[in-house]
Amino acid sequence: MNKKFSKILTLVAGLIGLIAFYFFIRIVMVGDDIIETDAELQASIVSPFINFAKFVLIATGLIAVVFSILNLVKHPQVLKRTLLGIAALAVILIIAYSVSSDAAVLDVSGRVLEDGEAGSVSKWVSTGINFSAILGVIGLGFFVVDFVKGLAK
């Protein structure tokens, strides 16, 4: 990264930090107790801080996605590996979906939980849990293999 770009990024990060510090000082000066009891004051002090945080989060996410896509376009080998990784995740997702249950979610006494009816939502929740479990097992397997290789050296 060249020096000029690095300097600009440092200035932007400093500006974001100063704005956030300004909002923080405003909140501290008023105090937590008053903010909790006065909804109008809360809207005038806390809401701008929350909106600023949302803006910074969205901007950061967009910048990360744009630069990631640009990097993938510039390097076809990386794009190929990324697409293979996405395909592998899609296969794991299909496996997780196929083994997932769409039954109603029950509590300990066997009653259906609120919003736990059988159907597609229940199936996708079960898919997410199974998908996470499969990825966790794969990750643990790679960790154990790496650990054993480290012990062998």
Q: What is the pLDDT of residues 18-65, one digit of tens each?
A: 999 998 888 888 776 666 777 787 778 788 888 999 999 999 999 999
Nearest Cα to Cα of residue 135 among 82, 79, 90: 90
Condensed to tens digits (0 to 9), the pLDDT of residues 63-117 reads 999 999 999 999 999 999 999 999 999 999 999 999 988 777 777 787 777 766 6
Identify which of 97, 94, 88, 105 has the alpha carbon closest to the alpha carbon of residue 129.
Answer: 97
93 plus 145 within the same structural domain: yes
In this prediction, residue 118 carries a pLDDT of 65
Which amino acid is present at 93? L
Per-residue pLDDT band at 149 (split at 50, 70, 90):
very high
Whether residue 35 is found in the same domain as residue 50? yes
Does the predicted model carry a pTM greater than 0.85? no
The whole domain housing 22 covers 3-74
Q: What is the pLDDT of residues 1-12, one digit of tens each?
A: 688 888 998 999
Q: Which of the listed residues 54, 74, 94 is the one where a domain comes to its end?
A: 74
Are both 61 and 94 inside the same structural domain? no
Whether 127 contacts 137, CB under 8 Å:
no
Q: What is 86-117 written as a DSSP string?
A: HHHHHHHHHHHHHH---PPPB-TTSPBPTT--
* Higher pLDDT pick, 132 / 113: 132
Residues 17 and 45 in one domain: yes
> Are 92 and 28 in a shared domain?
no
- Domain count of the fold of the chain: 2
Query: How confident is the model at residue 110, as a pLDDT?
Result: 75
* Same domain as 52, residue 15: yes
Statement to judge: residues 85 and 136 lie in one domain: yes
The position carrying tokens 């640009």 is 70
